[in-house]
Structure 1
């Protein structure tokens, strides 16, 4: 396998890989926006609930694409700092925390838009599978995994269609298990491994989360 048609196809392939692993009480946590079309396929196959990990990059002032840190929402927001970039940009930890507040406000707004007030899916004591459409540098994923670990899952699994091998190795200490379908030695970009890597819209995220909600209600009704 050299690549995927789109995120849905990648999600189906990932779901097949995960289906026979016998996870106990799984819950899928997807990184929006691109991780949601992948995550819904896993949720369908595993008959598991899906929620979001809301993570935002903290860019260097005047160079917003250069990530000095990343922040994840939650009761205790988790900030992961790229110390080398922060030092080069002469950003103190206090300054990064101040910049993080702006991103936390945006996370709160997006969560309200996407989830329409629905409560977070409980993860304590469950198998948590964190899903994205791929990983390049791993900065946002590292922040996500650290934040999820603080919520005390019984098992933490990282599952992605494609990632750089050295990035996966750097993340290994954050999780109990890694599942990755493609590990190209030279990862020029996640999108290079998709025929269609067009941006996932807010509307699609909302639609897929609504579907995930319906799937869980249907499963619960079927168990009654």
Structure 2
């Protein structure tokens, strides 16, 4: 997909400016999120059972989730728009591969991956620009490959913009996000909605999907 949208540069600049603060904030965030971890663990187990092809974390930030995927037995690497966050990821996890790039134009061959994790990385994408990302995810995933999305859920309302602490972001109805993915040959496997913790503002959504094998064969 074309990568000329101005929000991409704005997002990269915003995360570069707050990279150290953001990395410190999220580094141990999974420790208190057993439900979120359970979805990631299921994703990892399914990818391993399906042949253990490589997995990308698209929008990896400082790399803590990529490292978690590695700890779950996956051959994982990370891609992010922010050069500063990639520097931190390479420093903190020198045994892993991290690249500066966009999840909308991944440097990956067609059908190469067994899984793709987008963990709160689609949230900054304006709604009208989101569909091409799912097309790119379909391109890089092997038939039957798994996609796991983590995002802020709109709690029964429409897609809504909010003032994220780094740069503006969007909350999505889980059904609408699943429908967008289904237009690119993704079939829902599971979903989980988690109510916000005391220090969180919004409900969290998690969608586990699989690239349809039948569509690829047709």
Name the one with the larger helix percent.
Answer: 1
- TM-score interval, smaller chain: 0.3 to 0.5
Larger relative contact order (CA 8 Å, sep ≥ 6): 1
Q: Give the alignment's TM-score, normalised by structure 2.
A: 0.42
TM-score normalised by structure 1 residue count? 0.41
Structure with greater strand share of residues: 2
